[in-house]
A and B are shown apart, each in its own frame.
Chain A
Amino acid sequence: MISLKELKKGLLTSLWFVFLTFPIMVIKVDPFERTITWRWHNAVYMAIGTFCIFFIMKFYMQRKEMKKDTQKDSNDSILQKTLLDTRKRNIFIGTVLAVALLFPQFVSSYQTNVMTTALMYVVLGLGLNIVVGLAGLLDLGFVAFYAVGAYSYALLNLHFGLGFWTVLPIGGLMAAFFGIMLGFPVLRLRGDYLAIVTLGFGEIIRLILENWGTFSQGPSGISNIPRPSLFGLDLSLGQAINYTYYLMIVFVIITIFVVNRLQDSRLGRAWIALREDEIACQAMGIDKRKTKLVAFSLGAFWAGAVGVIFAAKTTFINPASFTFLESAIILSIVVLGGMGSIIGVIFGALILILMPEYLRALSEYRMLAFGAILVCMMIFRPQGLISNIRRTYKFDKTNLKTTPK
């Protein structure tokens, strides 16, 4: 099974990795003693380790290829099959909902807080999913809209004393407006160029917030932002955390419902068509400009609304919360989960946000693990964890015969 050629390739790969990791694995400099320790054994471990990993990967790749030949539906996971069956789907959704509702009763408020954060990223992911997954516009500055929402609440509250529920739609609309502002100049751009411009846009917003001190109070941020209110009741901290959690659950449900409806609508079709072929879209009479702008603004709306919730939840915001890394994480959620797939994005968000929280012991290696996971994903499941379920109507053979020939 293993040919000489592969063996050679494996050897070369492991040698290359030894070379790459040489400075950190082998050389150890002691600055006080002014000595250098050469840990050659580490190089050997590295070589053996890489060599093994290389062949394990080869083995899995081969198995995947074989599978592809033998069975066609290997891409459909168990979850997808469950979701296609109406009865099973209802049971599944019911269970998830019940667990979600009872969750804060059984765990500490720290856990609830972490979960609320994860749910916020679910909505952010679903918002970005409209732009990237459906309309195919690579947006690297999505966090800018999140910042717009958060600062809308913080500033409107600070200067005009507006409450959470008033600002929630305003924050969303402000972000949507900024989405259109970004959308106009980039209408003609595609692919890499679009990514660069959106990246720049995200940085511009952050830099403005950081440097325009009189407007946004600069890097020191805005504190004492009130938590969401509940009919004027006074809530203790624990209650407030639970309340934000349930608020987020409701918000996630609303988002899923709306995004799902959008996906199946005429507009959703237009987005998917735009992603696939712009020329054909024009030939079919789709208004390219309007469709793209709507995608940008609708995606931004969710980010803005979540931004408001974020400001209310943490009661303090500063520009450091809205760096490019956030955009990258949200984008990873969409790509990891599966572009265009709602359930995929939900799982992507939960995995990417919860995993680092529960692996705090390994926090130094967090980014390393993050990168490794993404690389592996792209090799083994480029379509994402749970790829989009396409609504198709399958005909059986007897049905086929009745179609006109």
Chain B
Amino acid sequence: MLKLENVQSGYGNKLAIKDISIEIKKGEIISLIGANGAGKSTTLMTICGVVACRSGRITFQEEEIQKKNPDEIVSMGICQVPEGRHIFPELTVKENLDMGAFLRKDKEQIKRDMDYVFSLFPILAERRNQDGGTLSGGEQQMLAMSRALMAKPQLLLLDEPSMGLAPLVIKQIFEIIGQINKEQDTTIFLVEQNANQALRVADRAYVMENGGISFSGTAKDMLSNPDIQKAYLGI
């Protein structure tokens, strides 16, 4: 579905990601784990077109997207939940969700999708008229994910959904990531620091180090790999 081939990108005269290749198939959950500054978020931003791709090819459903604008990429069915949530603090929960469906015109289906995300996160239904900025961190993360779902993406990119959340909330969020993948048939690309949780929910995973992919394989293999255990799982 999404294929990165020898992609390089970065900021100014520094390359943040060097020559990485990733392949995501339809219906999978793929995790990208790694330390701070390894280039995980930059990879996501490059896919979305926010950071320019310097060389290499990015194809989404057989179509090259590395030269496209962010809004064109979203309209093709790739939606991102940015790191640090980035909800609209002065819009209500409902308006935030409406913004997610910005590019869609099918009113009926939008309404049904909104009911769906409310069923995923009932707390948002209760707070639908509250300003986004008044929600707690966990609720904001739920809102950011719901907002991305409202765009009805085929590929959902999640950037550190566990950032700054309590363990219980993290568990709930990851359960829902699995649920979205099954119920909506949404392919998910997950960037995480929390390697333990990320590998449990994923089918396959890539490990990033210093801007390159250092290891890849099925999530099960990774969980039992002693090197990974030592470096990322703290066992």
Residue numbers of A with Cβ under 8 A of B are 266, 269-270, 272-273, 276-277, 279-280, 282-288, 390, 392-395, 400, 403-405
Is there an interface contact between B79 and A283, defined as CB atoms closer than 8 Å?
yes
- Say which residue of B81, B91, B102, B118 sits within 8 Å of A286 (CB atoms): B102
Is there an interface contact between B99 and A273, defined as CB atoms closer than 8 Å?
yes
Is there an interface contact between A400 and B71, defined as CB atoms closer than 8 Å?
no
6 A-B interface contacts by CB (under 8 A):
A276-B89, A280-B86, A282-B48, A284-B74, A285-B71, A392-B92
Give the CA-CA distance A394 to B129 in the complex, in Å.
7
Residues of B within 8 A of A400 (CB): 126
Is there an interface contact between B125 and A393, defined as CB atoms closer than 8 Å?
no
B98: CB under 8 A from chain A?
Answer: yes
Chain A nearest CB: distance from B99 CB in Å? 5
Is there an interface contact between B99 and A404, defined as CB atoms closer than 8 Å?
no
Is there an interface contact between A283 and B118, defined as CB atoms closer than 8 Å?
no
B75: CB under 8 A from chain A?
Answer: yes
B50: CB under 8 A from chain A?
Answer: yes
Most chain A CB neighbours (cut-off 10 Å) among B102, B103, B119, B129? B102
Give the CA-CA distance A284 to B97 in the complex, in Å.
10
Is there an interface contact between A276 and B103, defined as CB atoms closer than 8 Å?
no
Is there an interface contact between A280 and B102, defined as CB atoms closer than 8 Å?
no
Is there an interface contact between B91 and A272, defined as CB atoms closer than 8 Å?
yes
Is there an interface contact between B125 and A403, defined as CB atoms closer than 8 Å?
yes
Is there an interface contact between A282 and B70, defined as CB atoms closer than 8 Å?
yes
Is there an interface contact between B88 and A395, defined as CB atoms closer than 8 Å?
no
Nearest residue (CB) in B for A285 is B74
- Say which residue of A276, A280, A286, A395 sits within 8 Å of B71 (CB atoms): A286
Residues of A within 8 A of B102 (CB): 266, 269-270, 273, 284-286
- Given known contacts A266-B102, A269-B98, A392-B92, is B129 in contact with A283 (CB within 8 Å)? no
Residue numbers of B with Cβ under 8 A of A are 48, 50, 69-71, 73-75, 79-82, 86-92, 95, 98-100, 102-103, 115, 118-119, 122, 125-126, 129, 147-148, 151
- Say which residue of B86, B118, B129, B151 sits within 8 Å of A404 (CB atoms): B118
Residues of A within 8 A of B147 (CB): 284
Is there an interface contact between A283 and B71, defined as CB atoms closer than 8 Å?
no
- Say which residue of B50, B99, B122 sits within 8 Å of A284 (CB atoms): B99
Most chain A CB neighbours (cut-off 10 Å) among B87, B99, B118, B126? B99
Residues of A within 8 A of B99 (CB): 269, 273, 280, 284
Residues of B within 8 A of A270 (CB): 102
Nearest residue (CB) in B for A266 is B102
Chain A nearest CB: distance from B84 CB in Å? 9
Most chain A CB neighbours (cut-off 10 Å) among B48, B80, B115, B151? B80
Is there an interface contact between A276 and B91, defined as CB atoms closer than 8 Å?
yes
Chain B nearest CB: distance from A396 CB in Å? 12
Most chain B CB neighbours (cut-off 10 Å) among A269, A282, A283? A283
Give the CA-CA distance A191 to B178 in the complex, in Å.
40
Nearest residue (CB) in B for A400 is B126
Most chain A CB neighbours (cut-off 10 Å) among B88, B89, B122, B151? B88
Give the CA-CA distance A272 to B69 in the complex, in Å.
21
Chain B nearest CB: distance from A268 CB in Å? 11
Is there an interface contact between A280 and B126, defined as CB atoms closer than 8 Å?
no
Is there an interface contact between A276 and B125, defined as CB atoms closer than 8 Å?
no
Give the CA-CA distance A61 to B99 in the complex, in Å.
37
Is there an interface contact between B100 and A284, defined as CB atoms closer than 8 Å?
yes
Residues of A within 8 A of B86 (CB): 277, 279-280, 283
Is there an interface contact between B82 and A283, defined as CB atoms closer than 8 Å?
yes
Give the CA-CA distance A273 to B100 in the complex, in Å.
11
Give the CA-CA distance A273 to B98 in the complex, in Å.
11
Residues of B within 8 A of A273 (CB): 88, 91, 99, 102
Is there an interface contact between A276 and B122, defined as CB atoms closer than 8 Å?
no
- Say which residue of B71, B81, B89, B126 sits within 8 Å of A403 (CB atoms): B126
Is there an interface contact between B151 and A284, defined as CB atoms closer than 8 Å?
yes
Is there an interface contact between B80 and A283, defined as CB atoms closer than 8 Å?
yes
Give the CA-CA distance A283 to B81 in the complex, in Å.
7
Give the CA-CA distance A400 to B127 in the complex, in Å.
10
Chain B nearest CB: distance from A85 CB in Å? 19
- Given known contacts A272-B91, A280-B88, is B75 in contact with A285 (CB within 8 Å)? yes
- Say which residue of B71, B81, B90, B125 sits within 8 Å of A287 (CB atoms): B71
Is there an interface contact between B129 and A282, defined as CB atoms closer than 8 Å?
no
Residues of B within 8 A of A405 (CB): 122, 125
Is there an interface contact between A280 and B82, defined as CB atoms closer than 8 Å?
yes
Residues of B within 8 A of A283 (CB): 48, 70, 74, 79-82, 86, 148
Chain B nearest CB: distance from A132 CB in Å? 15
Give the CA-CA distance A392 to B91 in the complex, in Å.
10
Give the CA-CA distance A392 to B90 in the complex, in Å.
12
Chain B nearest CB: distance from A169 CB in Å? 30
